């Protein structure tokens, strides 16, 4: 059974079976993996329990998460309160800002500035839905600029389940202060490779964000 679990995990993590994809019929999978129906069902049950797969009534079994790590994060996020989860996410942003200030390339800086422009465009249109998406894309660009793949993976898994929660928090600010949410000083610090400035800025906005909660 363990071998079948590993094979299915590989198919999911490689993107051959993306999130939302319905698994092929049992007979096809039994033939592909060379196992009995019972072994296949045990493997699928284990992956459902782990959070990678989900069995839906009338729809069969579908892919729920892209990796075991993402599934584990999702389970913990579901059990954690919003403040705890955001504190971890924001702590990752602080590390990412420091590392981006140290290691950013001109290409990475250009990507961050494009994302900043998207935030500004959304703010000018007073489009909070577009702004939330642009803001998270901006932070992901900074994490990417850190040049640390593990940090990128951790941030990705932490952030996606929080989209709706972050949106709900932002729309409570009436009128919403876009200027406060556009991180000009953070971009300046990264551009100038000012590690201390990046750290100080993120510490301040982490504190401000927690105060709003």
For the chain, first and last CA: distance in Å? 46
Same domain assignment for residues 96 and 65: no
Same domain assignment for residues 17 and 39: yes
pLDDT in tens, 78-93: 666 667 777 777 888 8
Same domain assignment for residues 43 and 91: no
Same domain assignment for residues 18 and 65: yes
Binned at pLDDT 50, 70 and 90, residue 76 comes out as: low
Counting residues of the chain whose pLDDT is more than 90, the rounded percentage is 31
pTM (predicted TM-score): 0.68
Residue with tokens 């702590």, as numbered in its chain: 91
Name which of 124, 132, 137 is nearest 168 in CA terms. Answer: 132
CATH number of domain containing 167: 1.20.120.530
Among 32-36, 127-131, 193-197, 205-209, which is the least confidently predicted range?
205-209
Range of the domain at 149: 81-212
Q: What is the average per-residue pLDDT within 49-57?
A: 81
Strands (DSSP E) contained in the chain are: 53-56, 60-63
Residue with tokens 């019972």, as numbered in its chain: 38
Instruction: Pick 43 or 84 by higher pLDDT.
Output: 43
């Amino acid at each position: 059974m363990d071998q079948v679990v590993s094979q299915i995990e590989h198919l999911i993590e490689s993107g051959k079976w993306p999130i939302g994809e319905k698994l092929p019929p049992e007979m096809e999978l039994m033939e592909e993996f060379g196992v009995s129906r019972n072994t296949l069902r045990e493997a699928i049950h284990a992956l459902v329990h782990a959070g990678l797969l989900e069995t839906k009534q009338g729809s069969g079994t579908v892919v729920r998460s892209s990796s075991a790590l993402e599934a584990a994060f999702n389970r913990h996020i579901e059990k954690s309160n919003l403040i705890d989860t955001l504190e971890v996410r924001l702590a990752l942003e602080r590390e990412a800002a420091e590392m981006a200030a140290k290691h950013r390339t001109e290409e990475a800086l250009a990507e961050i500035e494009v994302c900043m422009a998207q935030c500004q465009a959304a703010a000018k249109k007073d489009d909070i839905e577009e702004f939330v998406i642009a803001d998270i894309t901006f932070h992901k660009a900074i994490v990417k600029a850190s040049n640390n793949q593990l940090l990128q993976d951790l941030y990705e898994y932490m952030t996606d389940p929080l989209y709706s929660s972050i949106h709900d928090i932002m729309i409570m600010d009436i009128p919403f202060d876009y200027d406060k949410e556009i991180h000009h000083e953070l971009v300046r610090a990264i551009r100038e490779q000012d590690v201390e400035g990046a750290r100080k800025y993120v510490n301040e906005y982490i504190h401000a964000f927690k105060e709003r909660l």
